[in-house]
A and B are shown apart, each in its own frame.
Chain A
Amino acid sequence: MAELSYRDAVAYGIAQEMRRDPALVMLGEDIAGAGGVFKTTVGLLDEFGPQRVRDTPISEQAILGAAMGAAMTGVPVIAEIMFSDFLAVCWDIVANEIAKSRYMTGGQVTMPLVIRTANGGGSRFGAQHSQSVENWCMMIPGLKVVAPSNPEDVVGLMAAAVRDPDPVVFFEHKSLMAGKAEIPAGEIVGTLGSATVAREGADCTIVALALMVPRALEAAEQLAADGTDAEVIDVRSLVPLDTQTILGSVSKTGRMFTVEENPRLCGWGAEIASIVTEEVFWDLDGPTMRITTPHIPLPAAEALEDMAIPSVSRIYETVSKSMG
């Protein structure tokens, strides 16, 4: 057991995989010399050298193009896009090329690559450096999408993503970086497409992702004090999606709330709500409810950003009111 921050878990997880596979390389802006602008890649240059850990120009298309070309010719790659908002400047490579090449070629090419990117709000960075864009990736056939909420999952899902032969977008949450937790000794390897029950409960199910998981857990403790026993599910992986864990929980509790940091329209919770209403409608005791950031660009000021992103109190109040 060792205590590790979410931030340090990123480098820890990458190092675990780079030691295991000497072919694995990484590239991105400021990841080598500087150790990443979020200090998530500190120490990797020293351990693995400049051939395997490479700084790039500010050229997101060139970065992901290089990752794709290397991956499809047999070299597994971890590429960093500094802020997830910047996926928009290389979206062609992500959505049209990396995601579709296997299908379009009748299975001729394999794309063992991971796109790591810092996602989410809470840092007062404004509308272009704070977005939660996991739903952008979720809607593209051919991409796998994960967003860990704690240090152990960072390491385990990083290993799972690297070892998966398909492209995986790996969202690291900026506001979780400082959080610390004990992680087990030895190799940690997670599984894509598996949700976890972060808190067991009998009265309702709160489905959350990344930063929304600790907030949902805190809200659940407050609800418990009122006598509402909420189950909290950490989705962890949007694609593949562990619907069985979610459906099983909702069938048991009869109510579902999703907590999403993305803006309202077409958030991942809408897809889950749709699956729940199609498949376990008769187990529901009330409507599925979505708690999301409003459909606005994120504001910069502390007071406004805190109003926009679902807070512990908003989760508590929404669930509380709805559960009567």
Chain B
Amino acid sequence: MSTKPHFDQKATEPPDPGFYDYSRRPVRRPDPVNMDNDHLDIHLDRRLELYESQLVLRQFEKRAYDLFLQNLVKGTSHLSLGMEAVAAGFGRALRQDDYVFATYRGHAHTIAKGAPLGPVMAELLGRSNGILEGKGGSMHLTSAQHNMMGSYAIIGAHLCVANGAAWSAQMRGTEQVAVAFFGDGTTSIGAFHEALNFAVVWNLPTVFVCENNLYMEYTPSDLVSPVEHPGAGRGPAYGLEGVVVDGNDADAVYLVAQAALDKARRGDGPSLIEAKTYRSGGHSRADPGKYRPAEEVEAWDDRDPIPMYHERMLRVGATEAQLAEIQQSVALRVDEATEFAKAGLPPDESALMTDVWADGGSAWRN
């Protein structure tokens, strides 16, 4: 992995205004599918689970988008369309009692950790049957009973919090691991660097997973990062090997995840993984993503993780009938989740003042 400076703009020469038309920048293409990954040591049953998990995440996010268009989802929302292989790959590698911390782009990680679809969907709709009772919304999805310890909407914080869960596991001797997912943009904030340093010096079982989708919100990440790999490239400064993986190949992600989780469980400390992927849509609900070169979007659409995985499944022994059955059951689950969400009532006034404190209330005076 190269760590040579990647930032070629000279500081003394301010860019002309046309520089900011990122849609005219050179296209950043995906690596081709690694056909050798067909032969990775992953059992067909596990691959069927990975296939199903990716489909669930894809269908859920598409449905969430449809519900925006119907004005049923209020506020903002950040979808993981195109990035499902990362959440699915890790989701299948994690132990049930491992901890997950996600960003505001956290629908996929929440679901992949086991949270039920209906309450997650209901939360996006701001209903009382939402997983956060309507109090958190899309950006704060949490399912503590699944050890999905939250989605954090201020960049960087949750990497530090994940260390705390890892420290707790280390003290309790449970061999649990804490995994923090974050975007390439997070690598520019101080908390990222504090968290990596802290995890290494305390030898914590934390796995840091950078989902590099090539854009820091609306800005190409290579314009704001001095190294080719904004996640993995920062590892050596903290004594960590930076691992880069094809984030659009669920099998590759799954094996890298397993290795990092095993390492953490053995007591060999944290890992830093960069999964290269691409957002098929914009940053958030408000963003059509027009700053991206059309040819680039097309090239990554051709590397969409799900059709690629479908073809692989057929090559490794699954049948079309098997896959069709999974597709149908997933579609049904997403339909049911939508119905569950739509049937929920808006939160009642009685919910407004509850759960500030552990006693269930919000009193600040006598």
A interface residue numbers (CB < 8 A to B): 25, 51, 54, 56-57, 59, 61-62, 64-75, 77, 92-93, 96-97, 101-110, 141-142, 164-166, 193, 239-244, 275
**Separation of A72 and B160 alpha carbons in the complex (Å):** 13
Contacts of B354 in A (CB 8 A): 107
Closest to A66 in B: B164
- A93-B157, A102-B358 given as contacts; is B198 within 8 A of A70 (CB)? no
The interface residues of chain A lying within 8 Å CB-to-CB of B202 are 54
CB atoms of A65 and B195 under 8 A apart:
yes
A106 near B356: Cβ-Cβ < 8 Å: no
Instruction: Report the stretch among B8-16, B62-70, B134-142, B316-324 that lies at the interface.
Output: B134-142
By beta carbon, the residue of chain B nearest A102 is B355
| Sample of 16 more A-B contacts, CB < 8 Å, known A57-B194, A64-B160, A104-B135 | A51-B171, A57-B197, A61-B156, A61-B195, A62-B195, A69-B167, A69-B178, A72-B161, A72-B164, A97-B152, A101-B150, A102-B358, A105-B136, A141-B364, A239-B364, A242-B365
A239 surroundings in chain B (CB, below 8 A): 364
Question: In chain A, what residue has the closest Cβ to B204?
Answer: A66
A141 touches B362 (CB 8 A): yes
Contact A109 B136 (CB under 8 A): no
Cα distance A61–B140 when bound, in Å?
A: 19
A57, A72, A101, A275: which contacts B198 (Cβ < 8 A)?
Answer: A57
B157 touches A105 (CB 8 A): no
Q: Which residues of B contact A108 (CB under 8 A)?
A: 132, 142-145
Q: Which residue of A lies closest to B169 (CB)?
A: A73
Most buried by B among A65, A72, A242: A65
B219 within 8 A of A: no
Task: Jot down 19 A-B pairs with beta carbons below 8 A, ordered by A.
Answer: A57-B198, A62-B160, A62-B194, A62-B195, A65-B157, A65-B160, A66-B198, A69-B161, A73-B168, A74-B168, A77-B164, A92-B191, A102-B357, A104-B142, A105-B132, A105-B150, A109-B144, A240-B365, A242-B366
Q: Does B278 contact A (CB under 8 A)?
A: no
Closest B-chain residue to A164, C-beta based?
Answer: B358
Closest residue on chain B to residue A138 by CB atoms: B364
The secondary structure that dominates the A interface is mixed
User: Would you give the shortest CB distance from B352 to chain A, in whole angstroms?
Assistant: 10
Verify B172–A75 contact, CB threshold 8 A.
yes
What's the Cα separation between A104 and B152 when bound, in Å?
11
Most chain B CB atoms below 10 A, which of A25, A64, A107, A240: A107
A59-B198, A73-B99, A109-B150 given; A244·B161 CB < 8 A? no
A59 CB contacts on chain B under 8 angstroms: 194, 197-198
Cα-based distance from A51 to B136 in the complex (angstroms): 35
Does any Cβ of A come within 8 Å of B294's Cβ? no
Is B149 among interface residues, defined by CB-CB distance under 8 A?
yes
Chain A neighbourhood of B145, CB < 8 A:
108
Chain A residues with CB under 8 A of B102: none
Residues of B341-366 at the interface with A, using a CB-CB cut-off of 8 Å, are: 354-358, 360, 362-366
Q: Given the complex of chains A and B, what is the CA–CA distance between A164 and B356 in angstroms?
A: 13
Chain B min CB distance to A188 (Å): 22
List the A residue with the shortest CB-CB distance to B191: A61
Nearest A residue to B155 via CB reads: A92
B163 near A107 with CB under 8 A, answer no
Given contacts A70-B168, A109-B142, contact A61 B157 (CB under 8 A): yes
Minimal beta-carbon separation of A67 from chain B (angstroms): 6
Query: Quick one: which of B135, B161, B198 contacts A56, CB cutoff 8 A?
Result: B198
A72 touches B140 (CB 8 A): no
State in angstroms the CA–CA spacing of A70 and B144 once bound together.
14
Q: For the complex, is B214 an interface residue (Cβ under 8 Å from A)?
A: no
Chain A residues contacting B164 (CB-CB under 8 Å) are 65-73, 77
The 7 closest A-B pairs by CB, nearest first: A69-B164, A65-B160, A106-B133, A165-B358, A107-B355, A62-B198, A59-B194
The reply to whether the CB of B245 lies closer than 8 angstroms to some CB of chain A is: no
A74–B164 Cα distance when bound, in Å, is 11
Bound CA span A263–B253, Å:
53
Residue B286 lies at the interface, judged by CB distance under 8 Å to chain A: no
Do A93 and B160 touch across chains, with their CB atoms under 8 A apart? yes
B237 to chain A, nearest CB (A): 14
B275 at the interface (CB under 8 A from A): no
Chain B residues within 8 Å of A107, by CB? 133, 354-355, 360
Which of chain A's residues has its CB closest to B196's CB?
Answer: A62
**Least CB separation from A71: chain B residue:** B164
Question: From A74, which residue of chain B is reached at the shortest CB distance?
Answer: B168
Contact of B165 among A56, A72, A141, A165 (CB under 8 A): A72
Indicate if the CB atoms of A105 and B142 lie closer than 8 Å.
yes
Q: A135 → chain B, closest Cβ, in Å?
A: 14
By beta carbon, the residue of chain B nearest A60 is B194
Alpha-carbon separation in the docked complex, A59 to B200 (Å): 13
Inter-chain CA distance A101–B161, complex, in Å, is 12
Q: Which residues of B contact A166 (CB under 8 A)?
A: 357-358
Contacts of B150 in A (CB 8 A): 101, 105, 109
Residue of A nearest to B354 (CB): A107
Q: Within 8 Å CB of B81, what residues of A? A: none
Nearest opposing residue in chain A for B171, CB measure = A75
Chain B residues with CB below 8 A from A105, complex form: 132, 135-136, 140, 142, 144, 150
A310 and B284 alpha carbons, distance in the complex (Å)? 50
With A62-B197, A65-B157, A104-B140 in contact, do A73 and B149 touch (Cβ < 8 Å)? yes
Which single member of A62, A69, A243, A275 contacts B168 (CB below 8 Å)? A69
**What are the residues of chain B within 8 A of A275 when measuring CB–CB?**
365
Is B154 positioned at the interface, with any CB of A under 8 Å from its CB? Answer: yes
Which residues of chain B from 203 to 224 have any CB-CB distance to chain A below 8 Å in the complex? none
Decide if B355 touches A69 in the complex (CB within 8 Å). no
Q: Within B174-211, which residues are at the interface with A (CB < 8 Å)?
A: 178, 190-191, 194-195, 197-198, 201-202
B17: shortest Cβ distance to chain A, in Å? Answer: 33
A73-B168, A92-B154, A108-B132 known; A66+B160 contact, CB < 8 A: yes
B residues near A164, Cβ cutoff 8 Å? 358
Given A70-B165, A73-B165, A102-B355, A61-B190 contact (CB < 8 Å)? yes
B257 interface contact, C-beta 8 A: no
Q: Does B131 contact A (CB under 8 A)?
A: yes
B162 within 8 A of A: yes
A301 to B120, CA, bound (A): 57
The CA-CA distance from A78 to B273 in the complex, in Å, is 31
